[in-house]
Amino acid sequence: MGCRWIYSITVRTLLLIAGVALITLGITEGKGLLMGGGLLLCAASVFIFRKMQQQLREKSWLMLEAIRNRDYSFRLPISGFSGGERVLQDTLNRFGGLMSEQKQLMEQRERFYEQILSSVTSGIIVLDENMKVVQTNPAAARLLGLPVLSTLQQLERYGTEVSHVFRTLGAGERYNIQFSTSKGEVQLLVRASVMQLGEQKVRILALNDIRNELDAKELDSWIKLTRVLTHEIMNSIAPISSLSETFLKRRDVVGTPLYDGIRAIHETSTGLISFVDSYRKFSSLQKPSPEPFYLLDLLHQIEGLTLVPENISLTLQIEPVELMLYADPNLIRQVLINLIKNAVQAIGGSKGRIHVRAYSSADEHVFVYVSNDGPAIPEAEAEQIFVPFFTTRSEGSGIGLSLSRQIMKLSGGTISLLRSGTNGWNTTFVLEFE
């Protein structure tokens, strides 16, 4: 500690200046002894600089390892240093302090999330790559007729099918399982999704009792849950992403052992922000601003977006042509765009038709039918298409139709799926405005 002054920039600079001066004087006066002394002083300055850099790299590496091991109490010494070295080490200590604060906040929010999950009626099971149960909520054990779910082997009491489905169900897939418990017959819809958690992938299984459709109260619970989770996660991750990005641009960080670690932190936080942001719109719908507008004009605007490829024909039938709606045009546009996109995806590359029909009933209710002749939706899927996060596509988010349902609810209307074959169409969604 007492010799740390030797590594200061002042000492290194004085040694270098003295060395250069002696070398110059030795050359001028032709004295080799002076030149030798000057070279020794210059070599000492270079040696001290390299030694200081080595110590700094070692301390930085120790701090990086501490951060990787989630030990945020490690601090670099700043006494005895000056200039940029002191600033860098002090900045790294501040970064460690911020990470420590974020760790405490994340621990608090983790406990908060567990309380929220315990109140959700859908069962949640998280499995690691070795099919070990990482986390569950009480609803999962209740739906499976178990006091607690700790391993998948517990499900073998219901036969091999249940355990096999839980082990093999892929991302975006769903499966209906039926088995008997001590409390009676159970029929569940199991949906799977995959998420990168650190260095490993985890599989999230969502369980729903398909005998009961989600009602308005349950939908509100999903919305509240999503709103809380997205808000809290964004508040936690955004500062880390911003701060790590700033550090990646520092010249004194580029090329050091810290760079790769900070880059990993930045990439992970950025990816999580992107993931969460895709669910934000489900829970942050704007308050409707209703106004009268012509439905045909709105549909022509949607036509102009070129959502429908050339292999699919889009026809409009508005009765009367001057039919008006009193709602938020921006929100209703979002619903219609989603229904048309779903129809396009259902038809795919084949020849197909999409038909939009609207009319006003005798009691002045406005009905809008969006039909297509693509493959019909299976009955098992039809019962679940409005469930938040339900999707049959691995790349889908499962919020499109549930978002549309929420918009219609806010608009004082409803959205429903008609039975296949109604009015001669394979798939028909109907919007009703009171």
Is residue 283's pLDDT more than 60? no
Does residue 64 have a pLDDT over 90?
no
Q: What is the pLDDT of residues 106-131, one digit of tens each?
A: 766 677 667 667 667 788 888 888 88
pLDDT of residue 212: 46
For residue 252, how far is the Cα from the chain centroid? 31
What is the rounded CA–CA span in Å between residue 161 and residue 275? 32
Q: Is the pLDDT of residue 1 over 60?
A: no
Long-range contact pairs involving 354-358 (C-beta distance under 8 Å, separation at least 24): 354/308, 354/312, 354/313, 354/314, 354/315, 355/314, 355/315, 355/317, 355/425, 356/299, 356/314, 356/315, 356/316, 356/317, 357/316, 357/317, 357/318, 357/319, 358/295, 358/317, 358/318, 358/319, 358/323
More confident residue, 292 or 141: 292
Mean pLDDT of 68-76: 65
Position 379 scores a pLDDT of: 76
**Residue 225 CA to its chain's centroid (Å):** 15
Q: Is the pTM of this model over 0.85?
A: no
Q: Are 98 and 239 in contact (CB under 8 A)?
A: yes
Most confidently predicted of 21-30, 62-71, 295-304, 358-367: 295-304
How is residue 283 written in tokens? 């829970």
Percentage, residues of the chain above pLDDT 90: 12
Residue 276 · residue 230 · CB < 8 Å: yes
325 or 279, higher pLDDT:
325
Q: How far apart are the C-alpha atoms of 103 and 265, rounded to whole Å?
A: 14
Name the nearest CA neighbour of 427 among 376, 379, 385: 376
Please tell me the distance from the alpha carbon of residue 171 to that of residue 203, in angstroms, as a whole number: 8
Question: Which segment of 12-21, 28-37, 146-155 scores lowest on mean pLDDT?
Answer: 12-21
**Assigned token pair, 223:** 């919305």
| pLDDT at residue number 240 | 78
pLDDT at 43: 76
Taking residues 293-313, report their average pLDDT. 89
Average pLDDT, rounded, for the chain: 76
Between 365 and 35, the higher pLDDT residue: 365
pLDDT at 214: 44
Supply 301's token pair.
Answer: 């605007």
Q: 10 Å Cβ neighbour count for 366?
A: 19
Residues 6+ apart with CB under 8 A from 360: 319, 320, 323, 366, 367
Residue 426 above 80 pLDDT? yes
Nearest to 219 by CA among 394, 387, 38, 415: 387
Q: Which band of pLDDT confidence, cut at 50, 70 and 90, is reported for residue 173?
A: confident
pLDDT given at position 181: 60
Q: Does 315 score more than 90 pLDDT?
A: yes
Asked if the model's pLDDT at residue 219 lies above 60, the reply is no
Lowest mean pLDDT across 25-29, 188-192, 209-213, 427-431? 209-213
Average pLDDT over residues 81-86: 58
How much of the chain exceeds pLDDT 70, in percent? 63
Taken in order 332, 338, 343, 347, is the CA torsion positive or negative? positive
Comparison of pLDDT for 213 and 70, the residue scoring more: 70
User: Worst-scoring range by mean pLDDT, 55-69, 290-304, 366-380?
Assistant: 55-69
Amino acid 155 reads L
Determine whether domain 122-212 maps to CATH 3.30.450.20: yes
The span from the CA of 122 to the CA of 137, in Å, is 9
CB 298 within 8 A of CB 333: yes
Average pLDDT of 76-84?
A: 58
**Cis upstream peptide for 138 (omega within 30°):** no
Tens-place pLDDT, residues 88-101: 666 667 776 666 67
Asked if 248 contacts 267 with a C-beta cutoff of 8 angstroms, the reply is no
At residue 434, the pLDDT reads 77
Selecting from 3.30.930.10, 3.30.565.10, 3.40.640.10, 3.40.50.720, what CATH number does the domain 291-433 have? 3.30.565.10
d(CA 333, CA 352): 22
